[in-house]
Amino acid sequence: MFSFIKRHQIILASAVLGLISLHLASTTRKGTGGEVIVRAVLSATAAPFQKALLAAEGKVAGVWSGYVYFVGLKKENAELGKTVQSLVEENLRLREEASLNARLKELLRFKDDFPPRTLAARIIGMSDFGLSGGWTRTIVLDAGSGDGVGVDMPVVSHRGVVGRIIAVTSRTSTALLITDPRSAVDVIDQRTRIKGLAEGNGEELVLKYIRRLDDVAVGDGLVTTGLSPVFPRGLSVGTVTKVENGEDNFFKHIEVGPASDIKKLEEVLVITDGNTAGADKTEGGQPTVPDGRVRKGKPQTRGKERP
């Protein structure tokens, strides 16, 4: 018996760990189970590295487009080259700042039109978006529980819903994007007011439970219903891109392009209001006060309270 175990110990260990993996996969589907300690340790280790990489990436991009372009200039042009280089770098920096300024302005404009309390956060990491064959669609934000971020808080951009927070450490948080297969958002067709469930499939969204006789057409905009406890009402989720009759002869197969192109986002807003669903105003009919905090990046701005 012991000799058998000893001879096949690797196979047996693999079988045991394989079964444990399957058990973990079936019990921690939401990814918020017993991995809290590991996540906290990894976050503490990786977050500074990710931030440093992000900063370095920006500098390398600047050097690449500024310095490398001038490699090969003759010696007599060195001084002129240096001047041009510094001007180009300055120009790049200013352009980057102008771009950041424009993005922050858009976010602030969105905040002004959007009553719940929000917190701006920077994206410091992303899952691989399928380039390594994975289906996970998550982003890592540089705001954590210390900033008031909590699990299940909605993450939005000025274009619409981005996802929701699924894990939080003191300094960072992980958001599940709406295109992740684990994500499902209650939505309503803006044109026909037909309700459905927008589920992620890794690449985009699939609108489910729409009957064949329901009127949903390509180009229709979908917004959140506010029925779920996570997302406030009226946030843009996406636009219908394809409508077909489903294979089950009952429901339609509808594909939806997400409103926010996460690959192009650098900052997002986390709605930190505890209960935001459908709550546009406070009890007295006055709008809630947005926090107005914009973290990191330049310029740092602090929003003002609404009257």
Under the criterion CB under 8 A, does residue 244 sit at the interface with another protein? no
Q: Are 174 and 151 in contact (CB under 8 A)?
A: no
Under the criterion CB under 8 A, does residue 10 sit at the interface with another protein? yes
Binding-site member from 42, 87, 98, 217 for another protein (CB under 8 A): 42
Binding-site member from 103, 159, 182, 296 for another protein (CB under 8 A): 182
Tell me how far apart the alpha carbons of residues 205 and 121 are, in angstroms, rounded to a whole number: 24
Q: How far is the CB of 163 from another protein (least distance, A)?
A: 10
Which of these ranges, 21-29, 246-254, 289-297, 298-306, lies near another protein under the rule CB under 8 A? 21-29
Strand partners, 141: 123, 173
Under the criterion CB under 8 A, does residue 254 sit at the interface with another protein? no
Under the criterion CB under 8 A, does residue 136 sit at the interface with another protein? yes
Binding-site member from 1, 2, 4, 25 for another protein (CB under 8 A): 25
| CA angle (170, 176, 177) in 5-degree steps | 135
Under the criterion CB under 8 A, does residue 80 sit at the interface with another protein? no
Which lies closer to another protein via its Cβ, residue 124 or residue 270?
124
Which lies closer to another protein via its Cβ, residue 110 or residue 135?
135
Under the criterion CB under 8 A, does residue 130 sit at the interface with another protein? yes
- What phi and psi values does residue 158 have, to the nearest 5 degrees? -70, -15
Size of the site for another protein (CB under 8 A): 56
Which of these ranges, 89-97, 131-139, 189-197, 249-257, lies near another protein under the rule CB under 8 A? 131-139
Under the criterion CB under 8 A, does residue 127 sit at the interface with another protein? yes
Tell me how far apart the alpha carbons of residues 162 and 183 are, in angstroms, rounded to a whole number: 11
Q: How far is the CB of 17 from another protein (least distance, A)?
A: 4
Under the criterion CB under 8 A, does residue 3 sit at the interface with another protein? no
Under the criterion CB under 8 A, does residue 54 sit at the interface with another protein? yes
Q: How many CB atoms lie within 10 A of CB 56?
A: 10
- Tell me which residues touch another protein (CB under 8 A): 9-11, 13-14, 17-18, 20-26, 28-29, 31, 33-35, 38-39, 42, 45-46, 49-50, 53-54, 57, 124-136, 138, 140, 166-167, 174, 176, 181-182, 199, 201-203, 263
